Amino acid sequence: MIKQSIARILAVELDRKDFLKALGIGVVAATGVTAAVSTVVKHTNPSAGKTASAPMGYGASTYGGAAAK
């Protein structure tokens, strides 16, 4: 049954457009929709995936160890 299904799928002739469409659908199905959406968001907005970090280095902390309020 599975061999017949695979043979039938492989016997279908496709042009380049249909092949690329099927390939794209297969990639999205394999990796998941959320991974595809997060990849698109990262490429359109590079700062979306970054978080703010505390400053480091000389002068980054308060003198004497107590934080000012």
Q: Does some domain include residue 67?
A: no
Taken in order 7, 8, 13, 18, the sign of the CA dihedral is negative
In a domain, 2, yes or no: no
Q: Residue 1: inside a domain, yes or no?
A: no
Quote the pTM value.
Answer: 0.40
Q: Is residue 54 part of a domain?
A: no
Are 28 and 36 in contact, with CB atoms under 8 Å apart? yes
Q: How many helices (H) and strands (E) does the chain have?
A: 3, 0
28: in domain:
yes
The reported pLDDT for the residue numbered 20 is 93
Residue 41 located in a structural domain: yes
Distance CA 49, CA 54 (A): 16
Domain range for 26? 14-45
pLDDT attached to residue 21: 93
Residue by residue, pLDDT tens for the chain (69 residues) are 888 988 988 888 989 999 999 898 888 888 887 877 888 888 777 665 555 566 666 766 667 666 655
| Total structural domains within the chain | 1
